[in-house]
Amino acid sequence: MARFDTAYGSPPLSKTRQIQTVGAVHHRFLWIHPFLDGNGRVARLMSHALFKRLGIGTSLWSVARGLARDETRYKALLAQADGPREGDRDGRGNLTQRGLVEFCKFFLERSVDQIRFMSGLLEPATLLTRMEIHIEEEVRTKRLQRGSFAVLREAVMGGEVERSKIPALTGFEERTARNVTSALVERGILTASTHRAPLRLAFPADVAERWFPNLYPASAGSRS
C-alpha cells in the first residue's frame, strides 16, 4: 500500500496522463485487496473521487454504472490484468502491462459512455432555459422571489454559490437577498451543510420532471 500511494497519490504526470491512470489505480487497488470485504466498493468510490479531483467528474454520473452494465467483461479484464508479465515486451513489473492497458482502455470507454449517457439524458445545453421558465412560474405564484434564477444560475455554473455574492447577483440589499435565499432553501431547491456554508443545488423530486423531462420514460408510471 505504501508503494501504491507513492506511485498514484501525487504522480508527476500531466493531467491527461493522470486521467489515463485512474483505471490503473482501480485495478492495482483490487489486486492488492487490502480489506477482507468491500474492496470493490472502495475501488469504485476512489475512482469516482479521483475523477472529481481531476476536475472531470460530477455527482451526476459515475463510472460504477458503466462497469456494472458490462460486469462480465469488467471482471474478465480485471482477471486478465492480474496475470504475470508475458515476456520482455510486456512491461517491466511482475504483472502484465498488456493486460493493464486493455483494462484501462475499457475503463475509460465506460467513463466516456456514462458522460454521454447523462449528457443526452439531462440535455445540459437547455437545462438553464428549463430552470428559468420554471422559476418564473414560481415567482408569479409567489412561491419564490424575484432574483431567484440569478442565484440558481450561479449554482449551476459554479457548482455552488457563496452567500456573500447573492446581493450582487440579485441586485438587492442584503436583507432582501437573504429572503431570496431563504425561500430557495425552504423550497428545497438550494441546500448547504451549515447556515454559513456555500449553497448548492438540491434537486427536489417535485422539480425533477420540469428540469429533467427525459430523466424518466413517459411510461415509467404505467404498467403494460
**Cβ atoms of residues 43 and 29 within 8 Å:** yes
3 marked ligand binding residue: no
**3-class DSSP state of 199:** strand
Please state, in angstroms and rounded to a whole number, the distance separating the CA atoms of residues 109 and 121.
18
Residues belonging to the chain: 224
Helix (H) / strand (E) element for 190: namely strand 190-191
70 marked ligand binding residue: no
150 marked ligand binding residue: no
**3-class DSSP state of 7:** helix
Please state, in angstroms and rounded to a whole number, the distance separating the CA atoms of residues 25 and 13.
14
17 marked ligand binding residue: no
Please state, in angstroms and rounded to a whole number, the distance separating the CA atoms of residues 146 and 172.
10
33 a catalytic residue: yes
**Cβ atoms of residues 200 and 190 within 8 Å:** yes
44 marked ligand binding residue: yes
**Active-site position among 26, 27, 33, 134:** 33
**Cβ atoms of residues 202 and 161 within 8 Å:** no
92 marked ligand binding residue: no
41 marked ligand binding residue: yes
Closest Cα to residue 80, out of 48, 58, 107? 107
Please state, in angstroms and rounded to a whole number, the distance separating the CA atoms of residues 88 and 130.
57
37 marked ligand binding residue: yes
Q: Which amino acid appears at position 190 of this protein? A: L
Annotated binding site for ATP: 37-44
Annotated binding site: 37-44
Which residues participate in catalysis according to the annotation? 33
